[in-house]
Amino acid sequence: MGLSVELKDVSVQYGSFQALKGVSLFVEGGEGLVLLGPSGSGKSTLLRTIAGLITPTRGRVYIGGRDVTELPPDRRGVSMVFQDLALFPHLDVFENVAFGLRIRKVPDDEVRRKVRWALELVRLDPDLFLKRRVHELSGGQQQRVALARALVVEPEVLLLDEPFSHVDLDIKNRLLEELKILHSKLGFTLIYVTHDRFEAVEIGDRIALMKEGEMVQVGKPIELYKKPKNRFVAEFFGEANIVPTSALGLGEKGYAVIRPEDVVIGGNATYKLKGQVVDVTFLWHYLKVEIQSNGHIYKAYVDLETPVSVGDVVEFGWDVRDVYVVEE
């Protein structure tokens, strides 16, 4: 079972730039948590602080309840997969994966056994790959070696910093699927950094959404989607129609969040508007329709059979119970 990870009021300052502004977070042992946010939001800084690569200017870091704030990375017992993988270019696949075991002075025959075990975990045939040089491998294979290298030491906590950002979508999806299986099979605590919300929902039991060095909202994907804390969460975590409440007669301050799948065209809506269709896009299992009304573009995901085309003037709307109001 993985160890819990906790950050208490962690700040990181680079000169005059504050990369983290008093962030607190609790990740349960064995949980899969995704740190999500746009670039510059501090999510990588947070991950590196957990790893011990950055010492916070203020605040404490706990792993398994133990205060590790002052401990160097080699004494924290976590594993990490880097965005650029950081494989050792002078070593072959075997020695790359074996690195952590060699440091731990594991006997040779056990090193061989464990390296094979780790390569099999990530679905690389040991007999084919052990002696290969890392630069001879494809991007996806290098990803697998990096993952095997992190897993071979059987970490309690696995940190991943946008690990699959350099591979094709197909391979990325397969790797995500496999990572998920490994996570539930091996039970480590998984903390995964990404800027991609699709990746985030694939892997995360919970999602911690960050912006400009602050933790904006932490929760299950459905909580962030259905009850976004503010306009930023509503926009970043899924498609949304965001309209000032004043425009809909819902009060002076705040914004109404209406998800495109809740918008209906011509059907029975309790709130109705009229507008002109400006764009229709085929998206496999639905149509994405953009409707202009009162100077605002509304997005609607509708059934493929819906008879709309660009230029149509349509009546559209939503059930008022599907409107979620945020204050800022």
Partner 1 sequence: MRVLRIYTWALIAAMYVPIGVVVVLSFNNSKLPYVWGGFTLRWYQALFGWDLAWQAVLNSTVIALGVALLSTLLGLFMAYTLRGDRYIAFSQGAVVMPEVSEALAFAAALSLLKDYANVNLFGPVGVFLAHLAYTLPMAHVLMAPYVSYVGRNVVEAARILGASELRTVLSVIAPILFPAFIATFLIVFANSFDTYIKTAFTTSPDFITAPILLWNYAARGRGDPTIYALASLMLIPSIAAAVIYFRAVKRYS
List contacts with partner 1 (CB under 8 A): 51-53, 72-74, 76, 78-80, 82-90, 99-100, 102-104, 149, 153
CB of 112 to partner 1, least distance (A): 18
Closest CA to 251 of 163, 165, 325: 325
Structure tokens at 234: 């509503």
d(CA 32, CA 217): 16
CB of 73 to partner 1, least distance (A): 4
Q: Which residue's structure tokens are 């299950």?
A: 220
d(CA 299, CA 289): 6
Q: Which is nearer to partner 1, 157 or 314 (CB)?
A: 157
Residue 92 DSSP label? B
- All residues at 6 or more sequence positions from 311 whose CB lies less than 8 Å from its CB, including other chains: 276, 277
- Residues 7-22: b if buried by 16+ CB within 10 A, e if exposed: bbebbbeeeeebbbbe
Q: Which is nearer to partner 1, 62 or 82 (CB)?
A: 82
CB of 92 to partner 1, least distance (A): 13
d(CA 157, CA 4): 8
- Residues 262-278: b if buried by 16+ CB within 10 A, e if exposed: bbbbeeebebebebebe
CB of 82 to partner 1, least distance (A): 5
Q: Which is nearer to partner 1, 105 or 321 (CB)?
A: 105
Residue 22 DSSP label? E
d(CA 304, CA 311): 18
CB of 3 to partner 1, least distance (A): 15
Q: Which is nearer to partner 1, 139 or 251 (CB)?
A: 139
CB of 128 to partner 1, least distance (A): 24
Q: Which is nearer to partner 1, 53 or 308 (CB)?
A: 53
Q: Which is nearer to partner 1, 76 or 116 (CB)?
A: 76
Q: Which is nearer to partner 1, 189 or 241 (CB)?
A: 189
CB of 238 to partner 1, least distance (A): 32
CB of 161 to partner 1, least distance (A): 9
In the chain, the N- to C-terminal Cα span, in Å, equals 40
Closest CA to 150 of 201, 48, 79: 79
Contact (CB, 8 A) for 159 and 191: yes
Residues, the chain, total?
328
Contact (CB, 8 A) for 131 and 124: no
Contact (CB, 8 A) for 70 and 25: no
Segment holding 187, helix H or strand E: none
Q: Which is nearer to partner 1, 79 or 241 (CB)?
A: 79
Q: Which is nearer to partner 1, 80 or 119 (CB)?
A: 80
